Amino acid sequence: MEENKVLDEVKEVAEDTAKEVKDAAENAAAEVAEAAEKTAEEIKDTADVPASEQDGKAAPEYVLEIDDLYVEYDTEDALVKAVNGLNLKLRHGETVGLVGETGAGKTTTALSILRLVPDPPGVIKSGSIKVEGQNVMELSEAAMQEIRGNDVAMIFQDPMTALNPVFTVGEQIAETIRLHTDCTKDEADEKAGDMLEVVGIPRARGNEFPHQFSGGMKQRVVIAIALACNPKLLIADEPTTALDVTIQAQVLDIMRGLKDQFNTSMIMITHDLGIVAETCDSVAIIYAGRIVEYGTLVDVFKHTLHPYTEGLFNSLPNIHNRTAKLKPIKGLMCDPSNLPVGCPFADRCNYVTDACKEKLPEQRYVSDTHYVCCTAYDDPNFRLERSKENG
Ligand SMILES: Nc1ncnc2c1ncn2[C@@H]1O[C@H](COP(=O)(O)OP(=O)(O)O)[C@@H](O)[C@H]1O
Ligand code: SF4
Ligand SMILES: [Mg+2]
């Protein structure tokens, strides 16, 4: 159907990649499925019961609530306004795709949740971040240490930054387990072996060092470390960007499977809409440190509202016409040390009017699940080209 054309295209791009490695991925998945199921059950059994449940109160509805977050980097050269009034909520078991160009503030947002923004020069200026109802801004450093790894774990783009070259991978997984759970060294070693199997690595290889592993294997080790303590929230910051496309599909496959088994909530940070189509329930499009469109996968892919989101879709390769020219978004993202008064996308937007430059567009809900920050939506005649084409 014409209406589904763009969604289908995006899905096919993702499927194309996935197909190329389907066999390899299936083999890997089959090998680990049995071990994973067993270990997942064990870990679920031993996972701590949330304090709120212990004293009979209902658990908070959201695992994460970010409210009006502002983060700046005060450098010698400039005051960089990296995050500018960001809101994001995430339910238990839900995966949100945080999508935007380099410099949009994705990593800064992720680091803020863990209170790991490098300070100096980074400063969380205002806003609140609640993990399971607890405002992390108000916690002591000791309490934050508890949350990191235990409640919230993060996977970085480059696995080498997360692994220590002088310890074996088994030691590194066991160390995380010992830090966050009350167990003996033997128990931690045993569980580290289980976690390796969960991500499709034979437990005997736990005695090897990171340099003996390929890029994809290293990233699986990082995933094993991140999931070792069964976090409630996993933040994956471009987890497959540094990997070959074939390995990417395998790693994503493993992450998806594990997330379902452990019912972990996840923020999937990426600039790749194909990955979003494959892994996410909801999508948050970020531009200049603010969410400019948010909705379910269907909302954002089929009923695109923001001109920037449209631009992201238009710049995807057209798999039906491989020779078709890409339509990149013109210009560059605005300078975060010199943000305009009005819409930060105005200089690049095909629909810009004078009104857009007067004030920052407000968040406008068009349904219970879908909002956009764009002044043009005050004009009843406004419609994106993409929506016109799709009827
Ligand atoms: N340590 C830092 N010092 C100064 N500026 C920084 C630092 N880290 C990030 N920034 C700036 O903050 C903005 C947002 O960066 P970042 O959060 O890394 O975006 P993304 O992950 O979307 O690429 C960018 O302009 C970037 O240059
Ligand atoms: S507010 Fe105006 S400039 Fe900004 S995205 Fe909407 S139409 Fe474009
Ligand atoms: Mg980043």
pLDDT in tens, 278-296: 999 999 999 999 999 999 9
Verify whether ligand 2 is closer than 6 Å to residue 376 (CB atom).
yes
308-324 pLDDT, tens per residue? 999 999 988 766 666 77
Over range 241-260, report the average pLDDT.
83
Given this model, what pLDDT does residue 387 score? 72
Looking at the predicted structure, is the pLDDT value of residue 17 above 80? no
CA distance 139 to 346: 39
Q: Sorting pLDDT into bands at 50, 70 and 90, what band is 248?
A: confident
DSSP string, 32-47: HHHHHHHHHHHHHHHS
Ligand 2: atom nearest CA of 308 is: 5
172-205 pLDDT, tens per residue?
Answer: 999 999 988 899 999 999 999 999 998 889 999 9
From the CA of 377, give the closest atom in ligand 2: 6
Q: Which pLDDT does position 44 carry in this prediction?
A: 47
- Whole-number Å distance between alpha carbons of 244 and 309: 26
Residue 382 CA: which ligand 2 atom is closest? Answer: 7
Instruction: Give DSSP secondary structure letters for 118-158.
Output: -TTTEEEEEEEEEETTEEGGGS-HHHHHHHHHHTEEEE-SS
Using DSSP, state whether 296 is helix, strand or coil: strand
Ligand 3 ion: Cβ-proximal residues, 5 Å cutoff: 106-107
Whether 248 and 17 have beta carbons less than 8 Å apart is answered as yes
Does residue 35 register a pLDDT over 80? no
240 CA → ligand 1 middle, Å: 19
Ligand nearest to the CA of 106: 1
Burial class (CB in 10 A: 0-12, 13-18, 19+), 256: middle
Distance 300 CA to ligand 3 centre (A): 22
Closest alpha carbon to 360 in 328, 386, 380, 334 = 334
CB atoms closer than 10 angstroms to residue 9: 19
Least confident of 28-32, 254-258, 387-391: 28-32
Q: Is ligand 1 within 6 A of the CB of residue 105?
A: yes
User: Ramachandran region of residue 67, left (φ > 0), alpha (ψ -120 to 50) or beta?
Assistant: beta
Measured CA to CA in angstroms, residue 388 lies from 3, 6, 115, 369, 383 at distances of 10, 12, 43, 22, 7
